[in-house]
Amino acid sequence: MNRFPSVTGRHGPGKTWSVQRYIQAGATRAIGLVALALTGLFSLLEFVEQLASVGEGNYTVVDALTYVLLTAPSRLLQVLPVSMLLGCLLSLGNLARNSELTAMLSLGISERRIIGSVLWLIVPIVISLMLLMEFGIPPAQQLALEQRASALSSSPTRHADSFWAQRDRQYLNVQRFAPGDIPIGIDIYSFRIDGNMDTIIHAATAVIRPDGTWLLTDVARKSVRVMQIKTDHFATLSWHSFVSPRQIRFLMLPPGSLPPIDLYRHIWDLPPDQPATRYEQELWAQLTLPLSLVAMTIAAVPFIFGSHRDRNSGRDFASGVGVGVAFSLAEEISGRLGLLTGLSAAVAAITPAMLTIVISIYLFHRSHRSRRRRDEVSLSPPGV
């Protein structure tokens, strides 16, 4: 039995709009349910992974659960493109199974208008996501990372990921940051213009001053000269850092925890000789998310408006899962190839979505032409 708003006689704009809202309501429910299910599944897997760290330092089950909950919005962002695909397959597939799509088509509502009704959903979704990416996800993820690092910091077996920074002929390595943004385990390598080592400075800790200089404490400086190495020890030593206080904040955090505006500012602030590939890739991954949503929505079209013979919703859904996995792998491979080949981060981010859109439109038009030819043959008089 058809459940969409009844339209009798010639349908007007108001009636068509009612049908579009009906399509959008069903798609919204399906997309939301799939997104919540996938987010919950991957959050559960993350929680199991976090349990392996319980017992290190002061890290408890409550800390693991808090970390998973605070990072859940970022997982929602990751699964949303696939959720769009599977949600469209569920909602439009349900309409097709109940012959509601056939009824809509018979009333003169074209396939393109039905597809457009779902595509319009992307507009409010993208607006919500942009606000979430700018104001919601970054502070939540940064808080999760800080709390986790603080709980694990008292563990003697804890080895935090260090970071490197480079400018001109100087290299900076910091093992970790203690609460209060205090660098711990600092190594500074300086090279002469001929490429040979000049000095190696190791400091236990440092205080970052407002003017950007670092007051190193418990310092050992090794000066490399011909056939000898001279070592000097200092209680404190001032070092003019080439890393600004604002850049330190970015170095302390993974690129995925930064909002788009901060990523852009950080890329702009970096000197020309310092690579920013990781940050560029993350920025373009966030900026091209709307295009990925469009690609996954259009990818559902060949399944829904393909051949109506022997329609199998389970098979279509399984195929949709395969398409979603393939799309995610294509994005990952494209990003890796961009790193290896020096391909533009924008091109690497846009290519998978554009290929998906082109292939989906081609498959839709091919199935549309095949169905029209079959209809013409079936309507031909016998013997013709």
Q: Is residue 53 part of a domain?
A: yes
Q: pLDDT at position 211, please?
A: 82
Is residue 87 located within the same domain as residue 132?
Answer: yes
The answer on pLDDT for 3 being more than 70 is no
Q: Is residue 24 part of a domain?
A: yes
144 vs 360: CA distance, rounded Å: 39
Residue of higher predicted confidence among 354 and 105: 354
Per-residue pLDDT of 214-272, as tens digits, reads 999 999 999 988 778 889 999 999 999 888 777 777 767 778 888 889 888 888 877 66
Q: Is residue 269 part of a domain?
A: no
- Nearest residue to 174 (alpha-carbon basis) of 147, 204, 149, 146: 204
115 vs 106: CA distance, rounded Å: 16
Residue indicated by tokens 């039995």 = 1
The answer on pLDDT for 355 being more than 50 is yes
Is residue 178 located within the same domain as residue 40?
Answer: no
Total domains, the chain: 2
Is residue 131 located within the same domain as residue 181?
Answer: no
The answer on pLDDT for 122 being more than 80 is yes
Q: pLDDT at position 159, please?
A: 43
Is residue 41 located within the same domain as residue 114?
Answer: yes
Range of the domain at 18: 13-152+281-379
Q: pLDDT at position 268, please?
A: 83
Per-residue pLDDT of 158-196, as tens digits, reads 344 567 788 778 899 988 877 667 888 999 999 988 888
Contact 63, 147 (CB under 8 A): yes
Q: Is residue 29 part of a domain?
A: yes
According to DSSP H, which parts of 98-157 are helical?
100-106, 111-119, 122-131, 137-152
Is residue 116 located within the same domain as residue 143?
Answer: yes
Q: Is residue 272 part of a domain?
A: no
The answer on pLDDT for 52 being more than 80 is yes
10 vs 20: CA distance, rounded Å: 16
Is residue 228 located within the same domain as residue 285?
Answer: no
Q: Is residue 4 part of a domain?
A: no
Is residue 147 located within the same domain as residue 285?
Answer: yes
Is residue 223 located within the same domain as residue 371?
Answer: no
Q: What percent of the chain has pLDDT over 90?
A: 38
Is residue 141 located within the same domain as residue 176?
Answer: no
Per-residue pLDDT of 334-350, as tens digits, reads 988 888 888 889 999 99
Contact 291, 353 (CB under 8 A): yes
63-77, 214-228, 301-315: range with lowest mean pLDDT: 301-315
366 vs 105: CA distance, rounded Å: 19
Q: pLDDT at position 7, please?
A: 45
- As a whole number, mean pLDDT of residues 79-107 equals 88
Q: Is residue 249 part of a domain?
A: no
Helix (H, G, I), strand (E, B) or coil at 157: coil
Count CA within 13 A, CB hemisphere, residue 189.
11
Residue of higher predicted confidence among 53 and 153: 53
Q: pLDDT at position 348, please?
A: 92
Q: Pick from 187, 221, 241: which residue ends a domain?
A: 241
Is residue 141 located within the same domain as residue 18?
Answer: yes
Per-residue pLDDT of 367-382, as tens digits, reads 767 666 665 555 555 5
Mean pLDDT rounded to a whole number for the chain: 83
Is residue 194 located within the same domain as residue 338?
Answer: no
Is residue 38 located within the same domain as residue 147?
Answer: yes
CB neighbours of 336 closer than 8 A, spacing ≥ 6?
none
The answer on pLDDT for 128 being more than 50 is yes
Q: Is residue 210 part of a domain?
A: yes
